Amino acid sequence: MSELVEEWTSFLPDLLQGLDISVEVTLLSLAIGIPCGLVLAVLVSSSSRLAKGAGLLIVEFGRGAPALVLLQLVYFGLPTTGLLLSSFVSAIAALAWNTAAYTSEIIRAGLDAVPFGQREAATAIGLNPLDALRFVLVPQGLRMAIPALVGFSIQIFQATSLCFTIALPELLSRSYGIGSQTFHYFSVLLLAGLIYAAICIPASILMKRLEHAIGHYAT
């Protein structure tokens, strides 16, 4: 046991550097993807066939293609078109696309859950459709979507482990690097798993508390 602790102590600084990159990719992907998801949710709900079709195309491809495929497409595919992106930017672009596609459905469900009376009230006080969306539907819809968005954020953090396939030195990539140098794959990957769990488990508990709080508020 003491040998394992000593190994973990020596591995930890390098793994924390990888964790820092994983967290940065997660936060930037969410910061870009969630607003884009809101836009896509509005497009898909639009009465315009062109807007709805364009939104559905982006959403269905982003949801239908695995995150790993999106990562490979952006990092290895785009250079063939003349657009070369770093592994860090590629990871953010791919995961933001994935985030936008999935959160658009989460947000759309939240918007649809707003009572119809709220829409009628917005029309009755003279709000145009855009103002009704901005001041009535979006604030209430996003509040109801928060628990699901937190849950999806956990998934995106876990999905950053796929970025080792595009040479991004995130947490899992650092673990493999240490393992290839020391041949202590079990101990370093176990430590990496514990780091992921130390973040994901509290976040999952937070998600459940948010669901309870929002459900209590709604009643």
Cα-flanking dihedrals φ and ψ of residue 78, to 5°?
A: -60, -35
Q: Does the CA dihedral 38-43-45-47 come out positive or negative?
A: positive
**Contacts of residue 41, Cβ cutoff 8 Å, sequence gap at least 6:** 104, 105, 107, 108, 111
- Indicate the length of the chain as a whole number: 219
Q: Which residue, 93, 94, 88, is CA-closest to 20?
A: 88
Note the pLDDT of residue 47.
Answer: 84
What is the pTM (predicted TM-score) of this model?
0.90
All structural domains of the chain: 2-218 (1.10.3720.10)
Residue where the block lists tokens 């102590």:
9
For 125-173, the pLDDT digits (tens) are: 878 878 888 888 888 888 888 889 999 999 999 999 999 999 999 999 9
